[in-house]
Structure 1
Amino acid sequence: MFFGSASRGLPGLSLLCAGSSAAHRAAIRTGRIMPRILWELWHDGRMLRVSICLLAALLPAMPAAAAEFTAQLWAEIAPVYRETLRHPFLTGLTDGTLPRDRFQFYLLQDGQYLRAFGQALNRLAAKAPREEWSLTLSRHAIEAIEAERELHGKILASYGAGAASMKSTAMAPTNYAYTNHLMNAVEQGTFAEGLAALLPCYWIYWEVGKELVKRGSKEPAYQKWIDQYAGDEYARSVQQVLAMMNAEAETAADGVRASARRLFVLSARYEYMFWDMAWKREAWPPTEK
């Protein structure tokens, strides 16, 4: 959530702050809130109002255009997201009707995907313009592999599919195309473009998790999967990447921003196709007669 410096971009805060004197506003902005000023503010009933102004003044500044960039991205994929929530794979997760073999297929394919996603994150981390971003993305890469090993591995083991099955599974066509799209974006594009390509995986899963956890699932394995993406820890990871995206949008050239939007939309479409791939248990055409 970005408010900009002081009250820029929030008319309500501008009106609240307008009631304070110039000296009071200067003290708020510089952090020099002296006892006498506090007494004056309390005495004339403006303490609550100025407290809100103080909060706004301490928040990091960010141009409105940058703060709105991820909102623009989401608006472009809203139709895809709506269709995603209606997909029988996801509705089957919550009502318990999803066949187990399709969920197993999904987990095996997602394991392959997460390994590729982790590689893409590491390559993007090497391009990060800020050291803290590089460290964050590298940590996310490790977490992606851990997620595959922990949750996926445990559920698959309960289905009778061991580690050998996870390693021997070949990527389905959609999975192959999606992961190649991500690697190309990360390797050939700017940091902003690579980040935009990876963002839908973070963001859509977070939104899906928040929606599905409201419905719950009678199937314990499905509920464990839902809980993973609806939890606070995952939310923090998504918010970190959203903050990176908005910060990059602040200085990105118009052409880079346009390219980032295209890559984001394409990845969102691939996310929908991934669910569909699992639902259909997609396979390559036979190579032998």
Structure 2
Amino acid sequence: MSRWSDRAWEAAAPTFRRILEHPFVHELTAGTLPAEKFRFYIRQDALYLDGYARRLAHIAARLPRKEQTETFLHFALEGIEVERALHAQFLDGGHPSPEEISPACLLYTSVLDAQATAPVEVEAAAVLPCFVVYQRVGEEILHRTRLEGHPYAAWISTYADPGFAEAAGRAAAVCDELAEAAGDEIRRHMTDLFVRCTKMEWLFWDSAWNLEKWNI
């Protein structure tokens, strides 16, 4: 029997193909992405990670097994710090203020926050795309380009690193354990949120590509 994470990825595959086809990812791969757009993305990602870390800690407190809790606490503390260190290399003017949040970033974090009262299986499934999408995008970019002299080599190296793939695998494994013990309805909700949050990843890059602003 296939794992839940495999079936969820299959359901999200059309969206992932759209992500790889997005001009932001194309130009990031080529090293031709305008610095202004990359800075916009990094500042929004820093704001996103603030909420994402809280979500990971919240999930950790709800997980049924000690090993699962330890895994998600590690993600919330040490794992997030790796990405924050990456942001620090590119951030201008320090950490962005919450008032800078873009509509797409606010939408994504709000979708995640809304799962706080959902079953823990669903909340865990909602945070998984941030692991597996970045892992696969990082690996795909590394396959297509050379890091030497690349302006975004540090970003690519972070997400194409085997250590990040290992973390993504651990997160997926916890979700698979939760799905295996859950009923069909919960598993359907897990898949729905996984696909929805994969779409949020596309919106996030599209927002950076367009330097999205509030129109009011």
TM-score of the pair, normalised by structure 2 = 0.94
Q: 1:174 to 1:197 in 2, by over 3 A?
A: same
Q: Does 1:222 align with 2:144?
A: no
RMSD: 1.5
Q: What code does the residue aligned with 1:110 have?
A: D
For 1:183 and 1:204, the matched residues in 2 are separated by 19
Do the aligned residues in 2 keep the contact of 1:114 with 1:144 (CA within 8 Å)? no
Structure number, greater radius of gyration: 1
Question: Deviation per CA, 1:82-104, whole angstroms, max 9, x where unpaired?
Answer: 11001010110111221000000
2:21 to 82, 86, 103: 86
Q: How does 1:64-213 map to 2 (within 5 A)?
A: 64=1, 67-156=2-91, 161-163=92-94, 165-167=95-97, 170-185=100-115, 187-213=116-142
Q: What code does the residue aligned with 2:15 have?
A: V
For 1:145 and 1:136, the matched residues in 2 are separated by 13
1:263 to 184, 188, 193: 193
CA positional deviation for 1:144 = 4.7
Q: Which ranges of structure 2 fall in alignment gaps of 5 or more residues? A: none
* Number of residues of Structure 1 aligned to a counterpart in Structure 2: 215
SS at match of 1:137: helix
2:162 to 217, 232, 235: 232
For 1:150 and 1:96, the matched residues in 2 are separated by 21
For 1:127 and 1:98, the matched residues in 2 are separated by 40
SS at match of 2:90: helix
Do the aligned residues in 2 keep the contact of 1:76 with 1:265 (CA within 8 Å)? yes
SS at match of 1:220: coil
Please identify runs of 4+ aligned residues in structure 1 that moved more than 6 A: none
Question: Deviation per CA, 1:225-271, whole angstroms, max 9, x where unpaired?
Answer: 01100111111111101111111111101111111111111101001
Do the aligned residues in 2 keep the contact of 1:102 with 1:279 (CA within 8 Å)? yes
Q: Which ranges of structure 1 fall in alignment gaps of 5 or more residues? A: 1-63
- Identity of aligned pairs, percent? 35
Q: What code does the residue aligned with 1:227 have?
A: S
Do the aligned residues in 1 keep the contact of 2:31 with 2:150 (CA within 8 Å)? no
Do the aligned residues in 2 keep the contact of 1:155 with 1:221 (CA within 8 Å)? no
For 2:60 and 2:149, the matched residues in 1 are separated by 37
TM-score of the pair, normalised by structure 1 = 0.71
For 2:71 and 2:7, the matched residues in 1 are separated by 24
Q: What code does the residue aligned with 1:268 have?
A: T
Q: Which has the higher contact order (CA 8 A, sep 6+)?
A: 2
Question: Deviation per CA, 1:84-133, whole angstroms, max 9, x where unpaired?
Answer: 00101011011122100000000000000011100000001110111111
Do the aligned residues in 2 keep the contact of 1:113 with 1:179 (CA within 8 Å)? yes
